[in-house]
Chains A and B, each alone.
Chain A
Amino acid sequence: MKSALLLVPVVLLVALLVASCTSSEPRPRQPGTLFVSVEQQSAWVRNFNPLFTGAGSRWPTRAGVYECMEVFIPSTGQWTPWLATAHAWSEDHRTLRFTLREGVRWSDGRPFTAGDVAFTFQLLKKHPALDAGGAWRFLEDVRAEGTHAVAFQFSRVYIPGFSELAHQPIVPRHVWEKVADPVTFTNPEPVGTGPFTQVNVFRNQVYELGRNPNYWQPGKPAVSALRFLAFPTNDQANLALVEGEVDWAGNFVPAVDRTFVSRDPEHHTRWFPLYGSTVFLYPNTTRPPFNDVRVRKALSMALDRERLVDIAMYGYTRPADATALNDSYTGWRDAEAASGAWVRHDEAAANRLMDEAGLTRGPDGLRRMPDGQPLELELEVVGGWSDWVRAGQVLARDLRKLGIQAHLKTYEFGAWYARLQKGEFQLAIAWSLDGPTPYTFYKWLLSPRTVRPVGEVAAANWHRFGDVEADALLTRFETESSPEKQKELMAGVQRRFSELAPAIPLFPNPSWGEASSKRFTGFPSAQNPYARLSPHAEPDSLLVLTALAPREP
């Protein structure tokens, strides 16, 4: 026993010594292989299912292995033809026809046809779990008309439905018709039309996707492979980025200019356009005093948003205006609605509004509810989300200056989200919903159709606010195809929003994107905004994948 016991550590120590003596020189990397950091995982699991959004399919399955018919570019507000070259509505707007690109082939060499598009949408109909965008709420039928045209028959006029159809990843019929259950199919050997379809390497710490041998854009992609290393935490991912191991990333990096850009100013770039979802302070409007618009506006005016974005967001963003729209909707913004004063810091006005609402200060300086109770509020955020926790601290302090006893309460994510969805909170910080037009955004902020009773789970409109007038405008928007009229209607919605202040906008989220041009060129930037830089930004990341090229040695 004695000798056996001694043997184990000796063997292990020798092994460690041998190991430490072997070379630690990094082996040269394959030229043309782009290192991307987009998902944070401790180990990769092989899954390339593009249809089931709830799944953890590996990036870039939904826009890179597979492709959609048209791609929306937030910086220009335009649609770019992709698998489809054109689309046309019928006179009555009940039929939408896409003309498909000729000469496109699947990565296994078979031709891409209208039958594949029709089949993909039929799959969504058969398996509602795959229909994340809810296309079959407004569709009646999908038919292939010959090999290069596909017609979508609508059950009602619903113009915003276009984006759901145009952005749907299309799968090949000849592969997926043999799949027994497309919801639980992990699609280990994907066959797609996208630029990268070949799984070169797949291990728990690394995977690599190679070029589609039959890609329809001649000479593209110029990048020969995409390589992904498993980084379980932001810190590890950022370390690899700073060290120059990763070429393209979409991570939140604290003090990015100092820690990343200045390390190699010639090559390291970051671009954080404000295209992300707007962050709100949601008041539960079913509860007094938040059912009073004066109180909501008073809370909003008590906030010093400049300080908030400096402290909570490292100054990466700007205070929200009274439309709450992010910068991808710049063309939609109505100047009159945006000038609403209730999002500007004005303590005197905030105090006046509170007094008007009957919430006057008691002798101790604290405001009282009409029943004499001091106004005590709880502000809920997720425990580990440091930016929101900092924001919550700033907000609570500003509210205390208004004479409100505001307490910041942090919850574990699941508990926080459950309370938010069921409307069992007073104040909460949360995100908002987006789409190519502000339609989705405002529908979930203002439409009575999205209001659920307290206690019932709501996907959004957590503040539970509905306005009939705004809803009438949104409903007309659904059937309006003229861009001028659409803009007019949306301006009306924005004015309603600014008037009613159903939720308190704080700041639009940046879309995080970092790149190193040491080995590759062609990344989008503020000067060349052909797509968002963030690899999270699907599907316009398709444009980046096809635009990048290895730097000449």
Chain B
Amino acid sequence: MHYVLRRLGFYLIAAWASLTLNFVIPRLAPGDPASAMFARFEGRVQPEAMDALRAAFGFTDAPLYMQYFTYLKHLLTGDLGLSYAYYPSRVSEVIGTGLVWTLGLAGCAVIVSFVVGSLLGVFAAWNRGGWLDSVAAPAFAFLGAFPYFWLAMLALYLFGFGLGWFPLRHAYSHDLEPGLSFTFVADVARHAVLPAVSIVVATLGGWMLSMRNTMVATLGTDTLRLAHAKGLPPRQVMFRYAARNALLPNVTGFGMALGFVLSGSLLTEIVFSYPGTGYLLILAVRNQDYPLMQGLFLVITLAVLAANFAVDLLCLWLDPRTRAHA
């Protein structure tokens, strides 16, 4: 329990530090949002509007530390402010339009990739030199080495545009009413196939190789020799003894990957026009939309920290040594 509390304290400090960075970094960028917004009109709005825009966005010349305290206060009350790019919509509302789709798509893709990749790694190591080990592993590593953007475009072109098997864009057909009907759920799944598979294909190789390598090392240990000698069934040896021990590095990596799901699926969302948070992030940066940027970073930061905390707990359960230490 002491160990858990200590980890929790560490995560709280980390959260505070990253929130502060969130505040500082955008303000170091040149330019200001009202000008950026004014510029988007490229001469279609009269220059007199610029001062008015500044006034509307509530630009203050208040000292930075004052702005910082206002920022913290608003965060604590859950008030993320108004987005500049989508002014006057609330940041929470803007993030809400994308969060569920990103979580659903990238979250599932990462889980599938992790589970399938790790399992393949286990089998590859178990049957070292077999088909899986000598052909599939390098093949997936090769695919993963392609630029993701190119891979996704290729998938979209071949299976969406060329063969017409899958839709070209969006998370569901625009003429369907969202709801828990079979048609709608199937439609959502159909729209998710290409983006999800492209993520899985691009990342599977990494999981597989790291799992295989640790597993090979584990297989050479005395524990495993003893397990074999005891005459345990091979499946039990493979999963309970070898895989469980070899899984630790992959689980740590999984925590990181889960956390980065929210920002990392940015390219996927662009290629497949998937209405997620990744694209919002680009838009926020382009428009110097500080409130939206901070809102997104907040969500991403908290997700990374929460995922890592969960992984810490998982490791505690997987690896008795951490428990003994505590």
Tell yes or no: B55 within 8 A of A by CB: yes
Specify the chain B residue showing the minimal Cβ separation from A459.
B47
Tell yes or no: B86 within 8 A of A by CB: yes
Q: Mark A417-457, 1 if CB is under 8 A from B, else 0.
A: 11101000000000111110000100010000010000001
Specify the chain B residue showing the minimal Cβ separation from A41.
B283
Tell yes or no: B299 within 8 A of A by CB: no
Tell yes or no: A126 within 8 A of B by CB: no
Contact: B89 with A186, CB < 8 Å? yes
Specify the chain A residue showing the minimal Cβ separation from B276.
A42
Tell yes or no: B87 within 8 A of A by CB: yes
Partner of A15, one of B31, B183, B189: B189
DSSP majority for the A interface? loop
User: What's the Cα separation between A239 and B156 when bound, in Å?
Assistant: 12
Complex contacts, B312 vs chain A, CB 8 Å: none
Specify the chain A residue showing the minimal Cβ separation from B82.
A184
Q: Mark B229-246, 1 if CB is under 8 A from A, else 0.
A: 000000000010000000
Contact: B55 with A277, CB < 8 Å? no
Q: Among A44, A54, A55, which residue has the most Cβ atoms of chain B within 10 A?
A: A54
Contact: A54 with B115, CB < 8 Å? no
Contact (A19, B193) CB under 8 Å given A45-B86, A129-B53, A457-B35: yes
Contact (A185, B88) CB under 8 Å given A27-B173, A231-B169: yes
User: What's the Cα separation between A248 and B47 when bound, in Å?
Assistant: 30
Contact: A414 with B29, CB < 8 Å? yes
Contact: A413 with B111, CB < 8 Å? no
Contact: A42 with B31, CB < 8 Å? no
Q: Mark B256-278, 1 if CB is under 8 A from A, else 0.
A: 00000000000001100111100
Complex contacts, A132 vs chain B, CB 8 Å: 45-46, 48-49, 52
Q: Mark A25-42, 1 if CB is under 8 A from B, else 0.
A: 001010000000000001
Q: Mark B34-54, 1 if CB is under 8 A from A, else 0.
A: 111111011111111111110
Complex contacts, B67 vs chain A, CB 8 Å: none
User: What's the Cα separation between A185 and B87 when bound, in Å?
Assistant: 9
Contact: A434 with B43, CB < 8 Å? yes
Complex contacts, B103 vs chain A, CB 8 Å: none
Tell yes or no: B319 within 8 A of A by CB: no
Complex contacts, B98 vs chain A, CB 8 Å: 42-43, 204
Partner of B47, one of A43, A45, A204, A433: A433
Partner of A414, one of B36, B56, B87, B93: B36
> What class of interface size applies to chain A in its complex with B?
35 or more
Contact: B112 with A8, CB < 8 Å? yes
Contact: A277 with B43, CB < 8 Å? yes
Contact: A22 with B170, CB < 8 Å? no
User: What's the Cα separation between A431 and B43 when bound, in Å?
Assistant: 7
Tell yes or no: A133 within 8 A of B by CB: yes
Contact (A16, B189) CB under 8 Å given A129-B55, A415-B31: yes
Tell yes or no: A137 within 8 A of B by CB: yes
Tell yes or no: A49 within 8 A of B by CB: yes
Tell yes or no: B165 within 8 A of A by CB: yes
Tell yes or no: A77 within 8 A of B by CB: no
User: What's the Cα separation between A434 and B41 when bound, in Å?
Assistant: 11
Q: Among A20, A46, A185, A231, which residue has the most Cβ atoms of chain B within 10 A?
A: A20
User: What's the Cα separation between A450 and B169 when bound, in Å?
Assistant: 46
Tell yes or no: A230 within 8 A of B by CB: yes
Contact: A236 with B42, CB < 8 Å? no
Complex contacts, A404 vs chain B, CB 8 Å: none
Tell yes or no: A180 within 8 A of B by CB: no
User: What's the Cα separation between A157 and B50 when bound, in Å?
Assistant: 24
User: What's the Cα separation between A18 and B187 when bound, in Å?
Assistant: 10
Contact: B279 with A417, CB < 8 Å? no
Complex contacts, B86 vs chain A, CB 8 Å: 45, 47, 55-56
Complex contacts, B283 vs chain A, CB 8 Å: 42
Tell yes or no: A128 within 8 A of B by CB: yes
24 residue pairs bridging A and B, Cβ less than 8 Å apart: A16-B189, A18-B189, A22-B186, A22-B187, A42-B274, A42-B279, A42-B280, A43-B275, A45-B93, A54-B37, A129-B53, A132-B46, A132-B52, A204-B98, A205-B172, A229-B169, A232-B273, A239-B161, A240-B169, A418-B30, A431-B42, A440-B46, A457-B35, A459-B47
Pairs A-B, 3 closest by C-beta atoms:
A459-B47, A134-B48, A19-B189
Seen from chain A, the residues whose Cβ lies within 8 Å of a Cβ on chain B are: 2, 5-6, 8-9, 12, 15-16, 18-20, 22, 24, 27, 29, 42-47, 49, 52-56, 128-134, 137, 164, 183-186, 203-206, 227, 229-233, 236, 239-240, 277, 413-415, 417-419, 421, 431-435, 440, 444, 450, 457, 459-460
What would 17 more interface pairs be, CB under 8 Å, given A6-B119, A19-B187, A229-B170?
Answer: A8-B115, A16-B193, A18-B186, A22-B187, A42-B276, A46-B89, A54-B37, A134-B49, A204-B97, A239-B161, A413-B39, A417-B36, A418-B35, A450-B47, A459-B38, A459-B48, A460-B47
